[in-house]
Amino acid sequence: MEDYLKIPEVARRLDVSEKTARRLVKSGRLPAVFVGGAYRVSEVDLAEYLESAKVAPGREVRPKAPPALGPPVERCPTCGLPLALARMGEGAGTRGF
């Protein structure tokens, strides 16, 4: 059976905060399992993550773009709000408030 590390130990080994280690796990960049109410990272997955993070001389380092959250939102050309919100306000000034 593989040895698993909890987030505080992963953070210590990477020399980052626990919050950063948790973000790596939740974003999927660092594989983990959720057991007993805590994320656990295998020693093998941590080693692979570190290997993939190595920087080669002369190679440009670019962070990966976050995954798209969904389709682009159509915006109102007049006010710039998403169309669904802009339509909610149509006629709002005619109620006599």
Distance CA 87, CA 21 (A): 42
The mean pLDDT value for 6-25 works out to 96
Please state the pTM of the whole predicted model.
Answer: 0.58
Amino acid identity for residue 54 in this structure? K
What pLDDT digit, counting tens, does each position of 37-73 carry? Answer: 999 999 999 999 999 888 878 777 666 666 666 677 7
CA distances from 36 to 21, 40, 45, 90 (A): 18, 9, 19, 51
Phi (first) and psi of residue 75, to 5 degrees? -115, 150
Q: Which CATH number fits domain 4-52: 1.10.10, 1.10.20, 1.10.3470, 2.60.120?
A: 1.10.10
Task: Give domain limits for the chain.
Answer: 4-52
Distance CA 71, CA 48 (A): 32
